[in-house]
Amino acid sequence: MARKFFGTDGIRGRTNQGVMTAETAMHVGQAAGTHFLRGEHRHRVVIGKDTRLSGYMMESALVAGFTSVGMDVIMTGPLPTPAIALLTREMRADLGVMISASHNPFEDNGIKLFGPDGFKLSDDAEAAIETLLDQKPLLVDPHRIGRARRIDDARGRYIHAIKQSVASDIRFDGLKVVVDCANGAAYQVAPSVIWELGAEVIAIGVSPNGTNINDGVGSTALDAIKARVVEEQADIGIALDGDADRLIVVDEKGAVVDGDQIMALIATRMHERGSLTGGGVVATVMSNLGLERYLESLGLTLERTKVGDRYVLERMKEGGFNVGGEQSGHMILLDYGTTGDGSVAALRVLASLVRSGKPASELLHVFDPVPQLLKNVRYSGGKPLDHENVRSVIAESETELAGKGRLVIRPSGTEPVIRVMAEGDDAGQVERVVDRICDAVRDAV
């Protein structure tokens, strides 16, 4: 059945349009609340948000929805997505909600749901909530309406929890770290936790005004942090996205280090200590072939999934893996949390930097990536990948790359874009293949 509300990462869209209205948010609260009303205990939901202007509106609407079906609500204010997953489990809540559109501009917003175990909802649970959204809500009697309250110590709880991901003998004294919080959900917690562990912190992207989230800062706009790292002669730069579930690193020379290298570093250190489980790492089809070859050289595997951290997580749980992620910076370390956590991953990188005594440019160049090129083609409707000529060009390209590289073509799960990625040992060949397919898609649309 086609989904009307849920996409690859919860519900997301432009605010006050389509599925992302206050009315829809209230109905989501009613439907999700009804779905999780199980047992005779007093039911509870934890709601967090990033720093978008529309967060106030969406939060109020969700509170109305949940309380109307008998759920108590705990509001945390701005906190990273992984903090909400953590607090949902720690506070014995029945459900967790994060109001965020991650790395999208402020005009967008989204609703991410977590079950009582702190994990994102399964496809079956989302389908059940979708069904309830088409039904009249089961409103409770007046004396059973839920109560709502804000808690003031959520930030401290999360900081304390993620510090446990670093060994007690590790301090960051002597490190100068630039931290870019994208004017988003981690603008208070990320600089604080790194400072508490001893580093000198230069914080940017920590002045949210409701409309500047991800605007020229953060993990998807790296020019600001690259320049600041070089200017400050810092040891490393840490860039998070709007809800702080992803991490991109900048080394002391201002060079960008993506999620593949971060995964390789973390997995290598854990493998050396005997704490890596599952016999390898889980990543998506977008991860570089160089990462796969590197892991194979260590006797480890790279398990690939569809794009989306939820698919990475599903495979990790199935196969007993404790390290997974995406090239874009989602790092899932199941020993320390139930979802991607950019701050935890950053602490692991900083701890390795301290232990090794090496500069970031050396430490984080774990493998040589093969040439990889990704281009996007926007379209206005239809299914361009079903066009006969497009299929023919893709088949020819796959034959050309056979044994020498990989080709990944997929529609985006969040916007009307076809993503065309190719990689291989011959950079010129990779570029020709990508351009040829993009041209065919453009002709089709």
Q: Tell me, which fold does domain 11-152 have in CATH? A: Alpha-D-Glucose-1,6-Bisphosphate; Chain A, domain 3 (3.40.120)
Give the separation between CA 71 and CA 217, rounded to whole angstroms.
Answer: 37
Confidence of residue 2 (pLDDT cuts 50, 70, 90): low
Average pLDDT (21-49) is 96
CB-based contact 266:345 (threshold 8 Å): yes
Give the separation between CA 60 and CA 65, rounded to whole angstroms.
Answer: 9
- CA nearest neighbour of 238 among 166, 156, 342: 342
340-375, pLDDT tens digit by residue? Answer: 999 999 999 999 999 999 999 999 999 999 999 999
Residue 269 parent element (H or E): helix 259-273
Domain with CATH 3.30.310.50 in the chain: 372-444
Give the separation between CA 425 and CA 422, rounded to whole angstroms.
Answer: 11
Mean pLDDT comparison of 221-235, 304-318, 383-397, highest-scoring range: 221-235
- CA nearest neighbour of 52 among 103, 18, 114, 92: 103
Q: Tell me, which fold does domain 372-444 have in CATH? A: TATA-Binding Protein (3.30.310)
For the cut 60, the answer to whether the pLDDT of residue 1 exceeds it is no
pLDDT of residue 445: 79
Domain with CATH 3.40.120.10 in the chain: 11-152, 259-341
Question: Active-site residue numbers?
Answer: 102
Share of the chain above pLDDT 70, in %: 99
251-264, pLDDT tens digit by residue? Answer: 999 999 999 999 99
pLDDT of residue 394: 94
Average pLDDT (288-310) is 95
- Average model confidence (pLDDT) across the chain: 95
Give the separation between CA 348 and CA 211, rounded to whole angstroms.
Answer: 31
Using DSSP's 3-state secondary structure scheme, residue 405 falls into strand
Using DSSP's 3-state secondary structure scheme, residue 149 falls into strand
CB-based contact 422:401 (threshold 8 Å): yes
pLDDT of residue 403: 82
Confidence of residue 338 (pLDDT cuts 50, 70, 90): very high
pLDDT of residue 39: 86
DSSP character string of 372-385: EEEEEEE-SSS-GG
Give the separation between CA 274 and CA 269, rounded to whole angstroms.
Answer: 9
Give the separation between CA 376 and CA 357, rounded to whole angstroms.
Answer: 40
399-437, pLDDT tens digit by residue? Answer: 999 888 999 999 887 678 999 999 999 999 999 999 999
Largest CA distance in the chain: 70
108-166, pLDDT tens digit by residue? Answer: 999 999 999 999 998 899 999 999 999 999 999 999 999 999 999 999 999 999 999 99
Residue 407 pairs in a beta bridge with: 422
pLDDT of residue 168: 92
For the cut 70, the answer to whether the pLDDT of residue 289 exceeds it is yes
Environment class of 205 (CB within 10 Å of its CB; exposed 0-12, middle 13-18, buried 19+): buried
Give the strands of the sheet with 247-251, arranged side by side.
Answer: 200-204, 176-180, 236-240, 247-251, 256-257
pLDDT of residue 75: 98
Pick the CATH number of 259-341 from 3.40.120.10, 3.40.228.10, 2.40.30.10, 3.40.1360.10: 3.40.120.10
For the cut 90, the answer to whether the pLDDT of residue 77 exceeds it is yes
- CA nearest neighbour of 126 among 108, 106, 112, 138: 112
For the cut 80, the answer to whether the pLDDT of residue 8 exceeds it is no
